[in-house]
């Protein structure tokens, strides 16, 4: 029977999610870090207990509940597609800036994708844990870079220069901090991990719509369409979540109290920022003002006195970030910005994007997109007829992307004997037991390491060893 330990005294002060995230995202915690993350989890579980969930009251009803939920999501998605065919606008993203804003603000969660299951790798020889371990390995792409979820999201952020997310408000770190805290305390929070996994791996309507609208806006939706396929309720992570719960729950002593802890873990998914709250929190002008205010800190005192706007020097405008809205209005009044017109008609835009742009390099690709969308958007936004797209354009039925070979060892003939990858091969080959090899590989498959070259190789080797 599995042993459970739960009670952890919570500190008087609320623990910052961002602080927990930054601490655990560097790797396994020391004693103080583990105590801090445990206290954070107790606080979050206490908050989760105040929430409602739609789980059935009995384990026997879980399968039918999931099937019914998946059917409802499918019908709602078909209704969404029909509304789009009839000319309804996008439901989530008003423009490309809105979509990129979402990608940036979801980054703290997406960049630890699957982390909550890491601590279960130690149970590799227990068949009841196999569905959860397999889910973690698939989150890691089985060690194939083109399928590793964290790597995919990193590339997506980099492609649009949306990777400046580290100073976001605390709420955007909460889900990631929860995942990392569960990752390094699996024995203590095992029922909560099972419940959290059950909630996270259900296919939600917002994932389908997000993938559709990103594709429509010319943003690669592969990270999201990959989750649509792997989370399916027939053979995917949603089914594995139910399978794992069904297999493991009888192994606990007091099934009623454990089921309550599973429900608490399920409710953890509803804490902090989520897809829909991030999307609804976007305001184009507010985002532009925030970007310009951040630029004011570095741009102040960098302009000559002859650079004047509305009788004031640019240096004076930038001396106080609170003046940014008035500065933007003054740029409009002076004709430097022509709202509702192509950005090239605005002199301010040409300072950023032209053959001899005086402000070349000042704004990232994401920041330029926000400015572009703000310029072309009239002050009163007219409705627009959405372009019609079919589900096929999402690429769900395309030929799978080619990944790397999945053998236990990828030989690096070009590497010398001091190569870290070659050294890992040699070290695993000389270990005296399968148990020792698996334990070594686990240390390289942490949320902080698995998407790096050694972690990817370790994942491929681990997968082969436990099969």
268 and 364 belong to one structural domain: no
Indicate whether 306 pLDDT > 80: no
For residue 404, the model assigns a pLDDT of 37
Weakest mean pLDDT among 153-162, 401-410, 438-447:
401-410
Work out how many domains the chain is built from and give that number.
3
312-338 per-position pLDDT tens digit: 877 788 878 888 999 999 999 999 999
In a domain, 65, yes or no: yes
Q: Domain boundary residue among 376, 406, 433?
A: 376
Weakest mean pLDDT among 2-11, 102-111, 290-299, 376-385:
2-11
3-state secondary structure 120-133: HHHHCCCHHHHHHH
Percent of the chain whose pLDDT exceeds 90: 64
62-99 per-position pLDDT tens digit: 889 988 999 999 999 999 999 999 999 999 999 999 99
Please report which residue ranges of 268-418 form alpha helices under DSSP H.
275-280, 284-299, 314-318, 324-333, 347-352, 365-376
CA separation for the pair 450, 137 (Å, rounded): 10
For residue 400, the model assigns a pLDDT of 39
For residue 405, the model assigns a pLDDT of 34
For residue 300, the model assigns a pLDDT of 52
Q: How confident is the model at residue 102 (pLDDT cuts 50, 70, 90)?
A: very high
Indicate whether 49 pLDDT > 90: yes
Helix axes 284-299, 96-105, angle to 10 degrees: 70
- Has this prediction a pTM greater than 0.85? yes
50 and 188 belong to one structural domain: yes
90 and 67 belong to one structural domain: yes
18-35 per-position pLDDT tens digit: 999 999 999 999 999 999
Burial 243-256 (b: 16+ CB within 10 A, else e): bbbebbbeebeeee
304 and 448 belong to one structural domain: no
For residue 296, the model assigns a pLDDT of 77
Cβ atoms 144, 209 nearer than 8 A? no
Indicate whether 250 pLDDT > 80: yes
131 and 180 belong to one structural domain: yes
Q: How confident is the model at residue 417 (pLDDT cuts 50, 70, 90)?
A: low
For residue 318, the model assigns a pLDDT of 80
> In the structure encoding, which two tokens stand for residue 307, read together?
């650079």
Q: When comparing pLDDT for 415 and 373, which is higher? A: 373
Cβ atoms 309, 300 nearer than 8 A? no
- The backbone region for 218, taken as left when phi is positive above 0, alpha when psi lies in -120 to 50, beta otherwise, is left
Q: Domain boundary residue among 320, 346, 376?
A: 376
238 and 318 belong to one structural domain: no
For residue 14, the model assigns a pLDDT of 60
Q: How confident is the model at residue 385 (pLDDT cuts 50, 70, 90)?
A: very low
Supply the range of the domain harboring residue 427: 420-466
274 and 291 belong to one structural domain: no
61 and 150 belong to one structural domain: yes
Q: How confident is the model at residue 205 (pLDDT cuts 50, 70, 90)?
A: very high
In a domain, 1, yes or no: no
Average pLDDT of the residues of the chain: 86
Indicate whether 309 pLDDT > 70: yes
Cβ atoms 25, 279 nearer than 8 A? no
In a domain, 396, yes or no: no
56 and 140 belong to one structural domain: yes
Q: Domain boundary residue among 376, 411, 436?
A: 376
Indicate whether 339 pLDDT > 70: yes
Indicate whether 387 pLDDT > 50: no
């Amino acid at each position: 029977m599995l042993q459970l330990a739960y009670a952890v005294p919570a500190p008087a002060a609320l623990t910052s999610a961002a602080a927990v995230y930054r601490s655990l995202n560097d790797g396994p915690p020391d004693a103080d870090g583990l105590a801090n993350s445990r206290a954070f989890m107790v606080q979050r579980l206490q908050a989760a207990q105040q929430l409602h969930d739609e789980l059935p009251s009995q384990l026997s009803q879980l399968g039918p509940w999931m099937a019914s939920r998946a059917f409802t999501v499918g019908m709602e998605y078909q209704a969404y597609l029909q509304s789009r065919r009839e000319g309804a606008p996008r439901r989530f993203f008003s423009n490309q800036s809105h979509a990129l804003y979402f990608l940036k603000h979801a980054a703290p969660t997406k960049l630890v994708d699957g982390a909550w299951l890491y601590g279960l790798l130690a149970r590799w020889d227990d068949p009841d844990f196999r569905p959860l371990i397999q889910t973690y390995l698939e989150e890691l792409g089985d060690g194939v870079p083109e399928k590793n979820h964290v790597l995919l999201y990193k590339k997506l952020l980099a492609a649009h220069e949306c990777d400046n997310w580290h100073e976001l408000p605390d709420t955007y770190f909460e889900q990631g901090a929860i995942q990392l805290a569960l990752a390094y305390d699996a024995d203590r929070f095992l029922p909560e991990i099972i419940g959290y996994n059950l909630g996270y791996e259900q296919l939600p309507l917002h994932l389908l719509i997000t993938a559709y609208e990103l594709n429509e806006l010319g943003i690669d939706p592969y990270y999201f369409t990959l989750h649509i396929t792997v989370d399916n309720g027939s053979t995917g992570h949603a089914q594995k979540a139910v399978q794992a719960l069904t297999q493991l729950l009888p192994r606990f002593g007091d099934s009623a109290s454990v089921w309550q802890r599973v429900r608490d873990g399920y409710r953890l998914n509803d804490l902090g920022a989520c897809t829909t709250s991030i999307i609804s929190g976007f305001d184009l002008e507010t985002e532009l003002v925030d970007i310009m205010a951040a630029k004011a800190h570095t741009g102040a005192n960098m302009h000559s006195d002859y650079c004047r706007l509305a009788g004031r020097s640019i240096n004076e405008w930038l001396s106080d970030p609170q003046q940014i809205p008035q500065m933007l209005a003054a740029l409009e009044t002076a004709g430097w910005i022509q709202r509702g017109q192509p950005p090239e008609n605005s002199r301010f835009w040409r300072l950023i994007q032209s053959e001899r742009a005086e402000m070349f390099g000042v704004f990232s690709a994401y920041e330029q997109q926000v400015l572009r969308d703000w310029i072309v958007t009239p002050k009163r936004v007219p409705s627009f007829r959405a372009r019609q797209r079919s589900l096929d354009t999402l690429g769900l039925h395309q030929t799978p992307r080619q990944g790397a070979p999945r053998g236990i060892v990828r030989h690096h003939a070009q590497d010398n004997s001091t190569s870290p990858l070659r050294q890992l091969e040699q070290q695993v080959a000389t270990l005296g037991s399968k148990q020792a090899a698996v334990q070594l590989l686990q240390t390289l498959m942490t949320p902080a390491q698995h998407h790096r070259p050694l972690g990817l190789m370790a994942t491929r080797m681990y997968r082969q060893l436990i099969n």
